[in-house]
Amino acid sequence: MAKCPNCNAKLHFWNVKAECPHCHINIPNHNWEQRLEEDAQNREESFFKLNSNLQMLKYAVIGTPWRLIRLICSVLPLIGFLLPMVFVVGKSGEGEFSLLLMFTGNKDLFSPEHLTEAFKWGSPAEQGLLRALIPALCALLLAVIAFFLVFLLFKHPKSMAIVILHALSLVAYTCGVLLANQTFQSNPNGSLLFGVFLGIAAFALVFLLDIVLLILPVKSEDLRYIPKDELQWDYAISTGNFTNEEFSAWQQRKEEAAKAKG
């Protein structure tokens, strides 16, 4: 049951008029100035939180040259899976193989049906290759997760989760390469191609960049969003995000910029 905002009297469903039957104030217009101020405060609070998150996201992704380089290099291992990785001679023919694209003159050699059957009665080279693909697929999955964690963990620019995932992806990919190389050493019907070596280099590069970002300090001012107007400053000061001295410095810079334009 509703109550009058002025006298706190109970209002029944038959009280359909805008005025309170007890104190006769206009309920929709009651205390409208305070409600407008509260709406303005809530709006500035939402803008400040949104812009603060955007500032942290920008810093975590491209806030420094090292972070921009890390973002670009995080895509390189994924591109490496498009390159020719191994050359295999199988029962259905021969051709170059990559994880995401097939470079072969014999379309049946790496068809889904043949890959499935190769687990059972394929050549030793084919079976060894398929076993080596398992850790390579794990590396691909870990690299994709680590890439998106850069965006999801933007509030933690020094998150160890990204470093651990990149380290595990490097280890998994290297294990896949070693398994494939071991297979081809014992069976001449296959060989490693340049794609796997570029893949190892790309995974190692991203991991080293993660280590660099862990070592480099994060400046607190780079993570802070600077309010653009006095209402946002009022909210930022009331929540303890900024001090009155910082607000005075902002006002001084604003006045100096206005004089310079004038």
pLDDT tens digit string along 31-49? 666 677 777 777 878 888 8
**Tokens read off for 161:** 């989760």
Instruction: With beta carbons less than 8 A apart as the criterion, state whether 221 and 242 touch.
Output: no
Between 202 and 11, the higher pLDDT residue? 202
**Tokens read off for 111:** 């068809």
The per-residue pLDDT for range 101-160, each reduced to its tens digit, is 766 655 565 666 666 665 555 566 667 777 888 899 999 999 999 999 999 999 999 999
Instruction: With beta carbons less than 8 A apart as the criterion, state whether 218 and 158 touch.
Output: yes
Instruction: With beta carbons less than 8 A apart as the criterion, state whether 107 and 113 touch.
Output: no
> Measured between alpha carbons, how far is 89 from 110 in angstroms, rounded to an integer?
11
Mean pLDDT of 76-97: 80
- Residue 105: its pLDDT value, please? 56
Q: Helix or strand or coil: residue 11?
A: strand
Sequence-distant (6+) residues with CB within 8 A of 242 are 227, 233, 236
Size (the chain), residues: 262
Instruction: With beta carbons less than 8 A apart as the criterion, state whether 195 and 83 touch.
Output: yes
DSSP 3: E
In this prediction the pTM is: 0.76
- Of 8-12, 20-24, 110-114, 234-238, which one has max mean pLDDT? 234-238
